[in-house]
Amino acid sequence: MYKIIDGKALSAEIRREIKEKVSAFKEKYKKEIGLAVVLVGDNQASQVYVRNKIRACEEVGIKSYAYYLPKETKQSELNELISGLAADKNINGILVQLPLPAGLDSESALKLIPREKDVDGFSAENIGQLCMNGESLVACTPNGVMQMFKHENIGLKGKRAVVVGRSNIVGRPMAMLLLNADATVTVCHSKTVDLKAECLKADILVAAIGKAKFITADMVKEGAVVIDVGMNRDENGKLCGDVDFENVKDKCSYITPVPGGVGPMTITMLMYNTLIAAERAV
């Protein structure tokens, strides 16, 4: 019998803890914790994400600074804003919402965010520290997945973990976190030979490729823990993940749904990272 890992409920629980810690921080140091969110252009999905992040800040007591720039913004203008935020002592975390409009270089913009304010955990320095199992701000989605394992008491030591997807945002940091937790890790991608055979070896299977219902029942080992990071639309326009949930769930010991699984954890871990950044700055 499978168990659904309820990301929505766990997220709410962690946010309550963050709210208490933020309140204690403000009481102790007599100062706010600040998160700057930069949105360039009019991408509707990005606007929704930014609104959700600002709402989460309000919920836990973090002060948000939102900067909305037109899509015609020049690289120099964007870089100047980020450099200013980097130097501002009231700002503990800086988030540049991706993707940026065509013509803007996200890499050069993100490089201007200091490691200690990189609450997305995307910087080369934070990724490097993660690879060395050092102190870092960890990418929010993989960190959220690790919190799910912890909450459900899912042991990782010695387990065979397969991560499908090698993006810098999810796949690679996810693999590093699992490796740091003493799992034996395989990373699969579009050039993997016999993906099905690799997935069938997994005690822990993490799908992060962005293809609706790509992971099917014949790719999942009996009793596996299946984590679905995907957020897609099916043929009927309904939200779904990378895993064919209805047909896969009965083979699992644990599985995350879409929506309501990994998704809610991502913004919660952004709040967590902002709190950690503030604590390290005092």
Domains of the chain in start order, with CATH, are 30-114 (3.40.50.10860), 140-263 (3.40.50.720)
Select from 140, 116, 138 the least CA-distant residue to 53. 140
Helix (H) or strand (E) holding 96: strand 93-96
Average pLDDT over residues 253-274: 97
pLDDT above 90 (res 45) = no
Mean pLDDT of 263-276: 97
Q: Using one digit for the tens of pLDDT, what is the confidence trace for 162-218?
A: 999 999 999 999 999 999 999 999 999 999 999 999 999 999 999 999 999 999 999
Residue 80 has pLDDT above 90, yes or no: yes
| DSSP category for residue 201 | T
What average pLDDT does the chain have?
A: 97
Read off the pLDDT band of 1 (50, 70, 90): confident
Mean pLDDT across 50-64: 97
pTM: 0.95
Catalytic residues: 53, 97, 120
| Distance in Å from the first CA to the final CA of the chain | 48
Cβ atoms of 41 and 101 within 8 Å: the answer is yes
The Cα–Cα gap between 144 and 149 comes to 9
pLDDT of 139 strictly over 90: yes
pLDDT band at 82 (very low <50, low <70, confident <90, very high): very high
Question: Are 206 and 145 within 8 A, CB to CB?
Answer: yes
β-strand pairing of 204-207 with 224-228: parallel
**Residue 9 in this model has a pLDDT that exceeds 90:** yes
Instruction: Compute the 3-state secondary structure of the chain and give helix, strand, coil in percent, each to the nearest 5.
Output: 45, 15, 40
- What average pLDDT does the segment 223-247 reach? 95
